[in-house]
Amino acid sequence: MHNLKTGSPLKSLARACAALCALALSVGLAACGSSNDSSASSDDTQMAGVTASGQLGKKPKISFHTPMQVVNNSYAVLQKGDGATIGDGDRVCTQGVSLNAKDGSEMMSTWEKGTPDCSIVINKKSLNSMYYNLLKGQKINTTVAFGVNDGNKSSTSYIMALTLVSKSKADMRAKGEKVADVPADLPKVTLASNGAPSIDFNGYQPGGSLVAQTLIRGNGKKVTANDTVDVHYTGWVMGKDGKPSQFDSSWSKGAPVQLSLQQVVKGWTQGLAGQTVGSQVLLVIPPDLGYGDKAQDKIPANSTLYFVVDLLYDYGPQQSE
């Protein structure tokens, strides 16, 4: 995803500690890592001495002796749920509360505002193996605690307790209605059986303006320029032979990605704002809304960018880091 971003790196919410990162934005969870981070599971262990009480599916009362020494990535299942079993391909929503390991004081909670985080998708490609193995097979209303040693200046350590409150099947491709009146002179998009796109430039000559053509129109939430979204995408530039040259694709990595539309190239922000979840969009991005005269890895300077983007989920505006 580095080819899309501008400015400071985007926190990887949908990888090793997807829910932990998303729920702990307000306290800066530096312990979160990507699924490729070998340290993410190097010291994971069962956590002892933490308990939870209260009605299943409601905010739990978390107890432990203070001060508590926290082992990073340690975990414990505090309450066994009584709901549906979580399996591959499920999107899981959680409510969370974090407690300071030093004195037990509450640092943050989503329960009072009723704002569950739904960033966990049970998928081996998008979730660190420890979290995948831990969460798959759990039941809704289960509460799991994680130990976190934060990397901030005060070196705060805390216990985060996540309650798995609901699940739904996560979309892996656009599922709206195919648009019938796509202009014939645009690049042609063909989909593989799994939904992965390929493109034929079809003699198209970019005119220097942004093109955002809906190919499949979803009936979900309308996306705004400030939202964080889950997407599947592929990007191309024109190669020296005049044919599409792919430079990036989430499809080849096996899982959708989560990104903020405030931390991508302007062509994405402008082109996807106003689209609806479930849609597939062809973006033709002129250089001034892409990378301009700066080359980026496989993208030559002054390149027009071509993307096919499936909008799969919208988290709404996310708190900045």
Residue 149: its pLDDT value, please? 81
B/e letters for 270-301, b = 16+ CB within 10 Å, e = fewer, are bbbeebbbbbbbbbbbbbebbbeeeebeebbe
Strand, helix or coil for residue 53: strand
DSSP state for residue 299 in the 8-state scheme: B
Residues with Cβ within 8 Å of residue 224, at least 6 apart in sequence? 261, 273, 274, 317
Q: For residues 166 and 15, what is the distance between their CA atoms, to the nearest angstrom?
A: 19
User: Domain extents for the chain?
Assistant: 18-169, 177-317
DSSP state for residue 221 in the 8-state scheme: P
Among 2, 1, 36, 33, smallest CA distance to 18 is for 33
Check if the beta carbon of residue 13 is closer than 8 Å to that of residue 258: yes
Residue 44: its pLDDT value, please? 61
Residue 72: its pLDDT value, please? 81
- Residue 216 pairs in a beta bridge with 178, 280
| Domain 177-317 coded CATH 3.10.50.40 | yes
DSSP state for residue 101 in the 8-state scheme: T
CATH, range 18-169: 3.10.50.40
Tally of helices (H runs) and strands (E runs) in the chain: 3, 17
Check if the beta carbon of residue 160 is closer than 8 Å to that of residue 75: no
Q: What's the pTM?
A: 0.83
| Domain pair 18-169 / 177-317, same fold | yes
Q: For residues 97 and 143, what is the distance between their CA atoms, to the nearest angstrom?
A: 11
DSSP codes joined into one string, 1-42: -TTTB-SSPPP-TTSTTHHHHHHTGGGT-TT---TT-GGGGT
Length of the chain equals 321
| pLDDT values of the chain reduced to their tens digit, one per residue, 321 residues | 445 654 322 232 233 343 444 433 322 333 343 333 333 344 468 899 999 999 999 999 999 999 998 888 899 999 999 999 999 999 999 999 999 999 999 999 999 999 899 989 999 988 888 889 999 999 999 999 999 886 555 678 899 999 999 999 999 999 999 999 999 999 999 999 999 999 999 999 999 999 999 999 999 999 999 999 999 999 999 999 999 999 999 999 999 999 999 999 999 999 999 999 999 999 999 999 999 999 999 999 999 999 999 999 999 997 544
Residue 71: its pLDDT value, please? 86
Largest CA distance in the chain: 69
Q: For residues 311 and 221, what is the distance between their CA atoms, to the nearest angstrom?
A: 10
Joined together, the tokens standing for residue 314 give: 């919208």
Check if the beta carbon of residue 187 is closer than 8 Å to that of residue 199: yes
Other beta carbons within 10 Å of 179: 14
